[in-house]
Amino acid sequence: MERTGTTRRRALAATGAAAAGLLGGCSGGGGDRPAPRRPSAADRARRAEEALRRRSAGVSRDLLAGYDAAIAAHAALRPRLAPLREAAARHVAALDPASPPPSPPPGGAAPPDAPPGAAGAPAAASAGAGAARDAAAPSPSAAGDPPGPPADPSVVLKELAALASRTAGAHTEALDGAPPELARLLASVAAASAAHAYLLAAPAEGGAS
């Protein structure tokens, strides 16, 4: 009987060890897959700032596109708009350094220290070639494309002033919740955009902000 009892105890011990091994193997297999990492507060803040920078750069990019369209349609406005256009391009680059740099202005850019008339010369030269293409091309309404800038330069300036004013307002609204460094940049760009609106609405020529 003693031998039988000893055999039973050994059998139970062996069964328990095997069960423990199976349980250990199951739990070990599940542990090979790490739990998904939750983003930290710093990660969330960084992503929010990147998204805000992209949105804000897009706002200034719309103003930049307005300047490009106006310069392409009215070469005579280039001396007045080129400095403002260059300032808007700098705003886009500062707000979203990771984005591709803005394309050069229509007709090429004049050196920063060149007199205003120097910028108008290449644009005037390209305007003649563009006029022939425009005459042969279908009208925007016939092609289904959105209409270009108005034919009256004074109306173009008025629309640009309104666009610059909306740009300033959008950057001012974006200040709420922006981190300190980005908030300072947004405030600066908003003030510059407001200055653009003033200069565009003024009858005399103005410079960049």
Helix (H) or strand (E) holding 188: helix 180-201
Which tens digit of pLDDT belongs to each residue from 19-74? 555 445 445 555 566 667 787 888 998 999 999 999 999 999 999 999 999 999 99
- Any long-range contacts for 87-91 (C-beta under 8 Å, 24+ apart)? 87/192, 87/196, 87/208, 87/209, 88/60, 88/63, 88/64, 88/196, 89/64, 91/57, 91/60, 91/64, 91/189, 91/192, 91/193
At residue 151 the predicted structure's pLDDT band, cuts being 50, 70 and 90, is confident
Which string of DSSP letters, residue by residue, matches 112-173?
A: TTS-HHHHHHHHHHHHHHHHHHHHHSPPHHHHTPPP-S-SSHHHHHHHHHHHHHHHHHHHHH
What would the mean pLDDT of 146-166 be, rounded to a whole number? Answer: 89
Residue 106, exposed/middle/buried by CB under 10 A (0-12, 13-18, 19+)? buried
Convert the pLDDT of each residue in 65-83 to its tens digit. 999 999 999 999 999 999 9
pLDDT at 111: 40
Q: What angle, rounded to 10 degrees, do the helices at 41-73 and 78-95 form?
A: 170
What b/e string do you get for 141-153 counting C-beta neighbours within 10 Å, with b at 16 or more? eeeeeeeebeeee
Both tokens of residue 25? 């193997």
pLDDT of residue 177: 87
- Cα(193)–Cα(161) distance, integer angstroms: 9
CB atoms within 10 A of CB 169: 15
189 with 94: CB under 8 angstroms? Answer: yes
Is the distance from CB of 99 to CB of 57 less than 8 angstroms? yes
Sequence-distant (≥ 6) Cβ neighbours of residue 159 within 8 angstroms? 66, 149, 150
Report percent pLDDT > 70 for the chain. 61
- How much is the pTM? 0.64
Average pLDDT of every residue of the chain: 76
